[in-house]
A and B are shown apart, each in its own frame.
Chain A
């Protein structure tokens, strides 16, 4: 009975039972016939035969059982033998298991991250029904959010209500969520203040998403009324962090921006909002926005204030296309209603306005800027782990071939002693399955422990948001299956090889000196491994140099000894003028501290992906198109420029006395001058804010050097600096402090100074500029780190693999070397022969690897920064590194070969 038959038996006992029944029936029949021939009656004959046989059922069962048990027993015995054999060569076993674990584990970890960040849907009910609404063709500055996340188009609150009631045929609901403003509020509890992340949401937010309360109740439609009681829902993480998970907080009031809000419920722990990577601490109904900012104009009835992003749930049976075409009819009248509220629209504006429409995109994944930032880098890392997996597989193949040829004698002996080939094959397969199993289990462990670490590298936000990033069951099962497949695949090769083994040949060949086909195969594999390692090494070098370039990028201001913190006086009830006075007081108090060289204020923080801007009319400039008359802007204090270290090219900053409304003075950057003035002198020129405005009230008094605005390496755009006291939007103020000592050491004094001005205003978002730049580079840093780790591992594996191949080669050719030495070759020549072989593998690997690495670097072009002049050097360094590794690992076998004692060797042979 063969192996397959037995496996078939284990699964198909029916067939086995039939066999046994047939066999026993035949026995009884024969016995009965013999009895009848002796003269017994038919009945007696039957009874006698049964008596003699004993219990038929029992016999059948015992036979069947013995079959199955025997098979399992022999399996266990083979497994035991395989285990003993593996234990006898711990080096081989550990290497194979560890290699497989690294390859599969790395893939599992990175795949888990990919799945979590790029592929996973929101943790809500039926996410596939969700769609995001975009207002397309809406490109006017100062209206909507042009530069922001393309996923997050903004709508005004009245338009949201209009759309809600007009789309009941296609949507089972439409939810709104505020983006940008009001997302940071001050929590006051027991005389302590803290900034917390708020999300303003419509009352149907939780019910439409299908999120159930963890405790209490979540928001409802009744919370959509501005007059209803102020309520708040806490996220689970925040509830734990701020209130220690105390249930008594339910139905109690907490103070947000100094206003009481009653806690109605706690959101479940699995729910992170609809934006992966951003933390939400409290959910406040949109209708209560005015209570958070009582001093401001109420944004709720304002049709010109677009601040809500919308997500809808399609009605069951309605497709996205159907909803899209329905919106083509529903939206235009609503859009035209908006027009009545636009002040003095120009013709260009009207043309644009008519083109506005709503576009739907699948919303099952919610919004996530993190996803957009990490998608490409994660793809790169995934590609690297793919290459790394290939390397580990090649390495394992090499190991198995080596072991196979080392064991060919053992196999030959076993065959000659009468072991069936199937048994040998089975033995080998069980061995590789065991290896694969151990490898897979270790890989799972590695992935389980490693993924959270990896997550931390790639996104501190996510780990802070309480997302662990442990791989889930299906992913783990997949990786186990992957390693089993790998194990089987590589076990089959040697197994078939040994099944084909000719006994006599193998016994004879033992001790032969010639390089066999397996040797060539191993060298080929080795060259492939070297090539793949080179791809990883070159990538790591390119990415690391690119990261270094990014870190030392010239952003247009001095990044050292620069500290940032934020204050929001309006959250403590300050009016606009009060906020300005507060800011000035802070500026003076902090500015006079001993460790502080300068302090400036900006309303739009630098390099935090925030922006502001408007259409401008510039003296003597005729815009060819509407879009050409746009400029970014920031509202700053005069001290902002010296504090940041942004030098003036010409002119001067606005002066303290010019901070009042009457003086309309501005500073622009070089790009503004190049764009709007060309070669004309900008000093004293005038401009106006808004395309259709009358007169040109603003005067340019100075020009500063270009500096980065939106992010670390955005492209420079025209930029206007205006006195921040002129802004009507004094909420969160960003202070930049130039320090005389290490930045962090000044921070306690600054906190004290601010506390003395007003203890109700918390100091938040404290960070040094280098930290900010570092956090901007989180994706690049993660990528370069991952590449370096994989390159290091790959080179180590290649080194170990090459060492194995060369050492085996030397052992195989011992006699040849002995003869050569005996007839007068110098040890040096022998060593050189071995070294040359290793070198040849290295060169072959490079020849194969360089084109691959080059193609990879073209593919990953966008991840590389400022390498043009250095690229050749990097390639050279990578190539030299790989050759160095090959030489170093060939060195030991070469020495062994050179030290062969010819007499002893020839005697042994």
Chain B
């Protein structure tokens, strides 16, 4: 999936709640690639442009699982904490 596609997916999947600041997504993508969570390759678009497609790696999937668990743990904790407010 290319960067533009990712912004759209995030936007749509979150029912337009999450809106990525598009300019700051690319440094993040490159960092993730560097960590080996995603890989990228170049292809040609129908408008004859070079397009970079990103793909999740096994390591990325594991990382995602880890981060997801961590996210759930933290958000559950936050939710619990909020109950007492």
Q: Which residues of A contact B (CB under 8 A)?
A: 1, 19-20, 22-27, 29-31, 52-56, 58-60, 62-63, 65-67, 70-71, 74, 418, 420
- The residue on B at minimum CB distance from A418 is B59
Partner of B3, one of A27, A67, A74: A27
Interface pair B47/A59, CB less than 8 Å apart = no
A61 to chain B, nearest CB (A): 9
- A54 with B23: in contact, given A25-B49, A420-B36 (CB under 8 Å)? yes
Residues of B within 8 A of A59 (CB): 22-24, 26-27
A53 to B50, alpha carbons, bound, how many Å?
19
Interface pair B34/A55, CB less than 8 Å apart = no
Partner of B27, one of A31, A56, A66: A66
A591 to chain B, nearest CB (A): 92
> From residue 29 to 74 of chain B, which have CB atoms closer than 8 A to chain A?
30-31, 33-34, 36, 40, 45, 47, 49-52, 58-59
Interface pair B47/A58, CB less than 8 Å apart = no
Interface pair B34/A23, CB less than 8 Å apart = no
B15: Cβ under 8 A from any A Cβ: no
A to B CB contacts below 8 Å, 6 in the list: A20-B26, A23-B52, A26-B52, A59-B22, A59-B24, A66-B34
A66 to B29, alpha carbons, bound, how many Å?
10
Contact bitstring B1-29, A, C-beta under 8 A = 1, else 0: 01110010000000000000111101100
- A418 with B24: in contact, given A29-B49, A30-B4, A63-B30 (CB under 8 Å)? no
A677 to chain B, nearest CB (A): 96
- The residue on B at minimum CB distance from A420 is B36
Residues of B within 8 A of A71 (CB): 34
Interface pair A23/B3, CB less than 8 Å apart = yes
A63 to B21, alpha carbons, bound, how many Å?
14
- A67 with B26: in contact, given A22-B49, A23-B3, A26-B4 (CB under 8 Å)? no
Residues of A within 8 A of B3 (CB): 23, 26-27
- The residue on B at minimum CB distance from A23 is B52
Interface pair A26/B33, CB less than 8 Å apart = no
Interface pair A23/B26, CB less than 8 Å apart = yes
Residues of B within 8 A of A19 (CB): 52
Interface size class of B (residues with CB under 8 A): 20 to 34
Partner of B45, one of A1, A20, A26, A63: A26
Interface pair B34/A29, CB less than 8 Å apart = no
A24 to B50, alpha carbons, bound, how many Å?
10
A163 to chain B, nearest CB (A): 75
Residues of A within 8 A of B49 (CB): 22, 25-26, 29
Interface pair A67/B30, CB less than 8 Å apart = yes
Interface pair B27/A62, CB less than 8 Å apart = yes
Residues of B within 8 A of A26 (CB): 2-4, 45, 49-52
Partner of B22, one of A1, A27, A62, A65: A27
- The residue on B at minimum CB distance from A25 is B49
Interface pair B31/A54, CB less than 8 Å apart = no
Interface pair A55/B2, CB less than 8 Å apart = no
Interface pair A418/B58, CB less than 8 Å apart = yes
A791 to B34, alpha carbons, bound, how many Å?
50
Residues of A within 8 A of B27 (CB): 59, 62-63, 65-66
A58 to B33, alpha carbons, bound, how many Å?
20
A420 to B4, alpha carbons, bound, how many Å?
29
A194 to chain B, nearest CB (A): 74
18 new A-B contacts at CB < 8 Å, known A19-B52, A59-B22: A20-B26, A22-B50, A23-B26, A23-B52, A24-B26, A25-B49, A26-B45, A26-B49, A27-B2, A30-B2, A30-B4, A53-B22, A54-B23, A58-B23, A59-B27, A67-B34, A74-B34, A418-B59
Residues of B within 8 A of A22 (CB): 49-50, 52
B61 to chain A, nearest CB (A): 11
A42 to B23, alpha carbons, bound, how many Å?
21
A67 to chain B, nearest CB (A): 5
* Interface of chain B: mostly helix, strand, loop or mixed: helix
* Interface of chain A: mostly helix, strand, loop or mixed: helix
9 A-B pairs closest in CB distance? A54-B23, A59-B23, A30-B4, A66-B27, A70-B34, A63-B26, A27-B4, A53-B22, A22-B50
Residues of B within 8 A of A54 (CB): 21-24
Partner of A55, one of B23, B33, B40: B23
- The residue on A at minimum CB distance from B19 is A52
A25 to B47, alpha carbons, bound, how many Å?
12
Residues of B within 8 A of A420 (CB): 36
A63 to B32, alpha carbons, bound, how many Å?
12
A824 to B50, alpha carbons, bound, how many Å?
75
A879 to chain B, nearest CB (A): 57
B51 to chain A, nearest CB (A): 5
B12 to chain A, nearest CB (A): 12
A151 to chain B, nearest CB (A): 65
A782 to B7, alpha carbons, bound, how many Å?
76
A557 to B66, alpha carbons, bound, how many Å?
93
A549 to B45, alpha carbons, bound, how many Å?
88
Residues of B within 8 A of A1 (CB): 33-34, 40
Interface pair A62/B24, CB less than 8 Å apart = yes
Instruction: Indicate the member of A1, A27, A60 with the most B CB atoms within 10 Å.
Output: A27
- The residue on A at minimum CB distance from B20 is A52
Residues of A within 8 A of B45 (CB): 26
Residues of B within 8 A of A20 (CB): 26
Partner of B47, one of A24, A29, A31, A66: A29
- The residue on B at minimum CB distance from A59 is B23
A19 to B47, alpha carbons, bound, how many Å?
17
Residues of A within 8 A of B30 (CB): 63, 66-67, 70
Residues of A within 8 A of B2 (CB): 26-27, 30
- The residue on A at minimum CB distance from B62 is A418
A54 to B51, alpha carbons, bound, how many Å?
20
- The residue on B at minimum CB distance from A22 is B50
Instruction: Indicate the member of B26, B31, B40 with the most A CB atoms within 10 Å.
Output: B26
Residues of A within 8 A of B22 (CB): 27, 31, 52-54, 59
B46 to chain A, nearest CB (A): 11
A52 to B22, alpha carbons, bound, how many Å?
7
B13 to chain A, nearest CB (A): 17
A22 to B30, alpha carbons, bound, how many Å?
14
B53 to chain A, nearest CB (A): 10
A24 to B22, alpha carbons, bound, how many Å?
10
Interface pair A56/B4, CB less than 8 Å apart = no
A56 to B26, alpha carbons, bound, how many Å?
11
B24 to chain A, nearest CB (A): 7
Residues of A within 8 A of B52 (CB): 19, 22-23, 26
A74 to B31, alpha carbons, bound, how many Å?
11
A53 to B23, alpha carbons, bound, how many Å?
5
- The residue on A at minimum CB distance from B21 is A54
B63 to chain A, nearest CB (A): 11
B67 to chain A, nearest CB (A): 17
A23 to B3, alpha carbons, bound, how many Å?
8
Interface pair B23/A56, CB less than 8 Å apart = yes
A27 to B47, alpha carbons, bound, how many Å?
12
A22 to B36, alpha carbons, bound, how many Å?
22
- The residue on B at minimum CB distance from A58 is B23
A54 to B49, alpha carbons, bound, how many Å?
22
Instruction: Indicate the member of A19, A26, A418 with the most B CB atoms within 10 Å.
Output: A26
Residues of A within 8 A of B50 (CB): 22-23, 26
A67 to B3, alpha carbons, bound, how many Å?
16
B49 to chain A, nearest CB (A): 5
B15 to chain A, nearest CB (A): 18
B26 to chain A, nearest CB (A): 4
Residues of A within 8 A of B36 (CB): 420
